Structure 1
Amino acid sequence: MLAAVDHVQLAAPPGSEDALRAYYAGVLGMTETPKPPALAVRGGCWFRAGAVRLHLGIETDFRPAEKAHPGLRVTDIEGCAARLAAHGAPVTWDDALPGHRRFYSRDPVGNRLEFLQPG
């Protein structure tokens, strides 16, 4: 029955849209996609890069995801880690997944993100 993951939604606090745009578009190089007008009034931002779609929705009593996270496959794990570190984002390498290089980071509102590359 399932064909694909359409998108992953992460929560964000009210008023964080500018910081989210700076990070997801500016640092990660994703493209912001317009939200339908009926949803845009709720705030938040939608981003995409190829088939990857992330929606950041505003949550009044926001708490960052400590364990839950999207796993984002990259083509240049070292370059990605260097870019994030250069922009002040934390980079925590983890070698527990056989056959992959990976690290964890946090977006500007504290959500956990995993970046990984097979090989």
Structure 2
Amino acid sequence: MLASVDHVQLAAPPGTEDLLRTYYEGALGMTEIPKPPVLAARGGCWFQAGAVQLHLGIEADFRPSAKAHPGLRVTDIEAYAARLEAHGAKVTWDGDLPGHRRFYSWDPVGNRLEFLQPLDETG
């Protein structure tokens, strides 16, 4: 009965909203969307690109996960990786997923993100 993923929630330490905006808006090209007022009081920020939403919530004792991450499909993966690198983000390519090109990057607080594109879409 599941229809789709509504959003992915990631965590961040207190006071890092401006760093997050720089990465998620600037490097990733997402748009910040307003949080409902009752949730905005908790801090953090929400971002959207097309149907993809990433919510960054504040966690006082934040520690980034070494393994957990959202997997985000992109188009023109080479250009997207170059965009992230141009914004100073680390890009690490991984060829271990059959049928895909993919890389990992990390936001300014250490959240790991996977970016992938099926080979039949890369040309």
Distance (whole Å) between structure 2 residues aligned to residue 52 and residue 39 of structure 1: 19
Moved more, 84-93 or 46-55: 84-93
Match of 2:7 in 1: 7
Match of 1:107 in 2: 107
Show structure 2 runs of 5+ residues with no match.
none
Secondary structure at the aligned position of 2:26 is classed as: helix
TM-fit CA distance, 1:66: 1.1
TM-score, structure 2 normalization: 0.95
Q: CA RMSD in A?
A: 0.6
Match of 1:91 in 2: 91
TM-score, structure 1 normalization: 0.98
What letter is aligned with 1:107?
Answer: D
Runs of 4+ in 1 over 2 A off after TM superposition: none
Match of 2:37 in 1: 37
What letter is aligned with 1:81?
Answer: A
Distance (whole Å) between structure 2 residues aligned to residue 17 and residue 76 of structure 1: 28
State the identity %: 82
Distance (whole Å) between structure 2 residues aligned to residue 65 and residue 51 of structure 1: 24
Distance (whole Å) between structure 2 residues aligned to residue 31 and residue 84 of structure 1: 16
Secondary structure at the aligned position of 2:60 is classed as: coil
Distance (whole Å) between structure 2 residues aligned to residue 54 and residue 112 of structure 1: 13
Distance (whole Å) between structure 2 residues aligned to residue 51 and residue 10 of structure 1: 17
Distance (whole Å) between structure 2 residues aligned to residue 29 and residue 112 of structure 1: 17
What letter is aligned with 2:89?
Answer: A
